[in-house]
Amino acid sequence: MNGHQTSATEDTMKAVMYERYGGPDVLEVRDIPVPQPGPGEMLVRVRSSMVAYGDYRMRSLNLEGIPAVERFLARLALGFRHPKRRILGMGIAGDVVRRGAGVTGFIEGDSVVAGLWHRMRFGGYAEYVCAAADGPVEVKPLNLGYDESLAAIGGIAALSLVRRAAVRAGEHVVVYGASGAVGTTAVQLAKHAGAVVTAVCSGPNGAMVRALGADRVVDYTKEDFTDSGERYDAVLDAVGKLTAAKSTRALKPNGRSLSVLTNGHASSGRPEMSYLLSLAQHGALTPVIDRTYPLERAAEAHRYVESGRKRGNVLLHCDR
């Protein structure tokens, strides 16, 4: 057992829902029935919920930068006119309060971290959520809090970028958009691999990114990193805003360019999540938390994430 014993005695819970696509104001707090875990599922009492940039894109149906075929498939999965899944939230940390039939490996009272992107379940903006026990779920490390554990997996897309780019010791790597959830993780993972890292972010975030291990910081508001003439072994776009032309111009022959929009979620299962949690547990990865909001202020959290100014992770606190 890892955490506090909890019993789900409430019949209703608060959840942040949206019935239509649009701005942050489409998010509404409602009282709805507590879900019941089906076979293979666990009911989790949510303590912290991730507010990801992808949540903003789903809420607003902003699919800019995604290839046409993938954009169509995303519309099909999310809903053409109205959202099919009306509670956002890709990741949570909380406590198991009930198990459905066939669940093994977890018990009531376990404190867990769960990725709800598995099968596009979502639903983290709520006081309770059902998580698939065979999905990306791990017991929370004892020496990390709920927020820190959740923030450790907040940049899981960075692991896919670094691994697919096959970053090696001594290589020169650019992380573009280095101050967000994916970027701060990418900087640390690239350094962990032994790379020399150039971090591109806004000036006010430079000191924070350098403290995470970046060897050089470029303020994109004052300088275009591709104008220096330096060439890199890999360019990792952690925000999906770098054009292919700029990436190519900055690469050495046979260099690799990857974007979070098209390469960031190839591998985001339990092994990847376990790896990030292990790094954080042993001090090799620093989870970066910018702001936390109560569940009722989810719309405000979305406005902040949408502003593009966040540093690391933004979380919702879902405790009553």
Closest CA to 91 of 318, 320, 311: 318
At residue 6, the pLDDT reads 38
Total of domains in the chain: 2
68-113 pLDDT per residue, tens: 767 677 677 777 778 888 999 999 999 999 999 999 999 999 999 9
251-265 pLDDT per residue, tens: 999 999 999 988 756
Structure tokens at 36: 């019941």
At residue 320, the pLDDT reads 58
Among 60-69, 222-231, 237-246, name the one with the lowest average pLDDT.
60-69
At residue 63, the pLDDT reads 74
Q: Are 58 and 26 within 8 A, CB to CB? A: no
Among residues of the chain, what percentage have pLDDT more than 90?
79
Backbone region of residue 198 per phi and psi (left: phi > 0; alpha: psi in -120 to 50; beta: other values): beta
At residue 319, the pLDDT reads 77
Summarize the confidence of residues 58-73 as an average pLDDT: 75
| Domain identity same for 216 and 172 | yes
| Domain identity same for 166 and 238 | yes
Q: pLDDT: is 298 or 10 the higher one?
A: 298
Q: DSSP strand E in 5-110: where?
A: 12-17, 28-33, 41-51, 91-99
Closest CA to 30 of 82, 85, 78, 87: 87
Residue at 93 is within a domain: yes
N-term to C-term CA, the chain: 22
pLDDT-based confidence at residue 134 (cuts at 50, 70, 90): very high
| Domain identity same for 161 and 241 | yes
| Domain identity same for 127 and 171 | no
| Domain identity same for 164 and 232 | yes
| Domain identity same for 36 and 135 | yes
Per DSSP bridges, beta strands 28-33 and 12-17 are antiparallel
Residue at 61 is within a domain: yes
Residues contacting 252, CB < 8 A, separation 6+: 231, 232, 233
Residue at 270 is within a domain: no
**Three-state helix/strand/coil letters over 202-267:** CHHHHHHHHHCCCCEEEECCCCCHHHHCCCEEEEEECCCCCCHHHHHHCEEEEEEEEEHHHHCCCC
| Domain identity same for 228 and 256 | yes
13-42 pLDDT per residue, tens: 999 999 999 999 999 999 999 999 999 999
262-314 pLDDT per residue, tens: 875 656 789 999 999 999 999 999 999 999 999 999 999 999 999 988 999 99
* Amino acid, single-letter form, for residue 99: R
Complete edge-to-edge strand list for the sheet that includes strand 251-259: 216-219, 196-201, 172-176, 232-237, 251-259
Distance of alpha carbon 91 from alpha carbon 112, whole angstroms: 11
How far from chain centre, in Å, is Cα 98?
A: 26
Residue at 151 is within a domain: no
| Domain identity same for 303 and 243 | no
At residue 265, the pLDDT reads 61
CATH number, domain containing residue 246: 3.40.50.720
At residue 25, the pLDDT reads 97
Q: What is the span of the domain harbouring residue 229?
A: 156-263
Residue at 269 is within a domain: no
At residue 118, the pLDDT reads 77
Distance of alpha carbon 295 from alpha carbon 276, whole angstroms: 26
Q: Which residues of 129-147 are buried (b: 16+ CB within 10 A; e: fewer)?
A: bbbbbebbbbbbbeebbbb
| Domain identity same for 309 and 224 | no
Q: Are 314 and 54 within 8 A, CB to CB? A: no
Give the chain's mean pLDDT.
Answer: 92
Structure tokens at 89: 């939230």
Alpha helices in 16-155 (DSSP H): 53-60, 68-78, 146-154
